[in-house]
Chain A
C-alpha cells in the first residue's frame, strides 16, 4: 500500500517535470503545443544512445538530455513556433500534431519501433527497505531530483528577474515590450527551458514510463491533464495535479487494472466540467 503510494509519488513527480514546460507554453503563452511529448522523447533517446552505444554514465546523460532537448526546442521555436503564437488554436493543434507525427515516424526510422531499455547504474537499481516499506532506489532518486527541480523552478519564477520578465511578457506583450523587455527572447528561452525539462523528464522516465516512438502520443493526454487540472497560475497547482495523477494512475493500475485508464479520463472530464480553470487555480479569470 505504502509502496504504491511511493511509486505513485515518483511517477507524479516525473509527470510534473515532463509537463511543467507545457504549463508555460500552453497556460501562459496560450499555445496549444501537443508536440510537447516529442521533446521529452528526444531526451529519452539521447540517454539511450549515449548509454547503450557509447557507454556514457547515466548521470552525464541527464544534463545532456536537458541540453539537447532545449536546443531542439530553441531551434524549433525560432524557426516555426514563433510564427504561430497569434494563430488560431486550430492551427496550433494541427501544427503540433504534424510535428508529433513527424517525430514518431523519424524516431521509428532511426531507432526502430521497439521499447528501449537502459541499464541503470547499480547504486540506483533494486529496492531498499525504509521503515518496513519497500522503496525502489531509482524511484527515490527520481523523487529527490524532481523535488529539487520543482523548488528551483518556483524560485526562478518568483524571485529572479527572468521570472518577473516572463510574467510581464505573458500578462501583456505590448506593455512588456514598451518596458524594454525583449519578449521574443524571453519566450524563446522559456520555450527552450520547458523543452529541456521535458527532455530531462524523458531521460529519467525511460526506466519508469518506457520509451518507444509512440511516447509523445501515449503521454500527451497525461501532460494535458496535469496542465488543465493544475491550472497555470502557479507552479504548485500543476505539481499537486501531477502528484494526484501519478498516485491515481499507479493505484488504478494496481487495484482496478481493467478500468484504470478509464477512471483517469473520466475524472479528467469531470474536473474540466466542474473547474474549467483548473483545480488549484486562484479565483476565476
Chain B
C-alpha cells in the first residue's frame, strides 16, 4: 500500500468518523424535548392553580386534546383522512359508562377497559381502510362512524337510546382520590392521562415505527421499496390511535357522569379534524394547541351566539383552508427550539 493511498484511507476514515458523530447528534436532536413542550405542561399545571373556577372547561380541553392527538397518529403520521374517528371516542365513552353503571366504578379500570375495547374495534376496522383511495377511506371511516351511532341508537336496552346513559357516578380514582364538585380531581386526572398518553405517542413518533409511518405518508411507493410493510404499520397505528381515542371518550363519561348519543355524532369527527388542523398535524402537540384554541373559541362563540356558533366554526374552517393551513400551522416552528443554549450538529 503506497503512502498516498494510506493517507487517503486515513482521511476517509476520519471523515466517516466525523459523519458518524454528527449523525448521532442530529438524530438525538430530532427527538429531544422542545421548548414549547415544557411550556405546555407548565401552563396546564399553572391553570389548575390560577383558574380554579374554570376546571370544567380545562377538563374539556384535556379530553379533546387527547382525542385530537390520537387522530394525529392516523392523519399526521400515517396520512389517513378519517371522518369517523369519533366511533372510537364514542365506543370508549359507552364502555366506560356501562362499566361504571353495572360493574366497576373505579375510573382507571374503566379507562383501561374502554381503551382496550376501542382498540379492538380499531384493529377490526383497520383492515377496511387498507385499500383504495382517500375517498374510499373517507367513506369507510364515515360509514363506520355512522354505523356505531346507529347501533347505539337502536340498542336502547343497553345504551339508553336517545336518552343516553346516566345514573352512575365514578368511584374514587384507584380507590384514593374522590371526584369533587368543582372538578379539580377530574382535571388533574384527565391531565395525567393526557400527559401519559402524549408521552407514549411521542415515544412512538420518534421510533423507527413512527418514522416509517411518515415515510408511508410521504411516498408509499418508495416506502415499499425500502421494505416498509405499509399495511401492517397502518393496522398497528390505527389500533393504537383507537385505544387513545377510546380513553378520551372514557374520560368524558367519567368526568360528566353521563353518556349521550352525541359522543358518536358526525360533528365530533369534524370538530376533531378541525382541532388538529388548527394546531397543525404531524407533531402531536398540534392536537393540544388546537384543543385549547378550539374550545376557547367555541366557548366564546356560544356565549355570543348560542344557537349559531356552528356558522362561525364553519367559517373558520373555510378561511383556514383558503389561507393555507400549512402557513398557519407553521407558527410553532418559530418558537425557540430549545430553552438552553442551542447546540448545532455541525
Contacts and interface: CB of A to CB of B under 8 A. Distances in A.
A80 interface: yes
A262 B318 contact: no
A54 interface: no
Contact of A265 (B147, B312, B325): B147
A97 B320 contact: no
A47 to B, nearest CB: 23
Given A93-B83, A262-B154, A102 B135 contact: no
Contacts of B317: 94-95, 97-98, 101
A102 B317 CA distance: 10
Chain B contact-residue range equals 35 or more
A259 B154 contact: yes
A224 interface: yes
A94 B320 contact: yes
B310 A105 contact: yes
B138 A276 contact: no
B143 A108 contact: no
B321 A102 contact: no
Contacts of B321: 84, 87, 91, 94-95, 98
A93 B150 contact: no
Interface stretch (A136-144, A146-154, A241-249, A267-275): A267-275
A265 B134 contact: no
B142 interface: yes
A83 B135 contact: no
A3 B310 CA distance: 40
Interface in B310-346: 310-318, 320-322, 325
Contacts of A84: 321-322
Given A95-B318, A97-B314, A98-B318, A221 B143 contact: yes
Interface string A194-228: 00000000000000000000000100010011001
Contacts of B311: 101-102, 104-106, 109
A32 interface: yes
B172 interface: no
B314 A276 contact: no
Contacts of A103: 314
A93 B81 contact: yes
B252 interface: no
B276 to A, nearest CB: 10
Interface stretch (B103-111, B125-133, B232-240): B125-133
A90 B315 contact: no
B9 interface: no
| Prevailing SS type, chain B contact patch | helix
The majority secondary structure among interface residues of chain A is helix
B139 A262 contact: no
Contacts of A91: 321, 325
B139 A224 contact: yes
A12 B67 CA distance: 37
Contacts of A99: 314, 318
Interface residues of A, number: 40
B313 A101 contact: yes
Interface string B128-163: 100111111011101110110011001000000000
Nearest to A106: B311
A265 B266 CA distance: 14
A108 to B, nearest CB: 7
Contacts of B142: 221, 224
Contact of A268 (B143, B151, B308): B143
Contacts of A259: 150, 154
A101 B131 contact: no
A109 B133 CA distance: 37
A232 B309 CA distance: 36
Interface in A235-285: 258-259, 261-262, 265-266, 268-269, 272-273, 276
A49 interface: no
Contact of B270 (A32, A80, A89, A97): A97
B75 interface: yes
A26 B135 contact: yes
A90 B75 CA distance: 9
A94 B277 contact: yes
A102 B143 CA distance: 23
A17 interface: no
B273 interface: yes
Contacts of B241: none
Given A32-B138, A87-B321, A261 B146 contact: yes
Interface in A5-35: 26, 32
Interface centre among B151, B274, B310 (most CB of A within 10 A): B310
Contacts of B310: 101-102, 104-105
22 contacts: A83-B322, A84-B321, A94-B274, A94-B320, A95-B321, A97-B270, A98-B314, A98-B316, A100-B314, A101-B267, A104-B310, A105-B314, A106-B308, A224-B142, A228-B135, A228-B139, A261-B146, A261-B150, A265-B147, A265-B150, A272-B143, A273-B128
Interface of B: 75, 81, 83, 128, 131-136, 138-140, 142-144, 146-147, 150-151, 154, 266-267, 270, 273-274, 277, 307-318, 320-322, 325
Given A259-B150, A268-B143, 19 more contacts: A83-B322, A93-B273, A94-B277, A99-B318, A100-B314, A101-B311, A101-B313, A102-B315, A105-B308, A105-B312, A105-B314, A108-B307, A108-B308, A228-B139, A259-B154, A262-B154, A269-B144, A269-B147, A276-B131
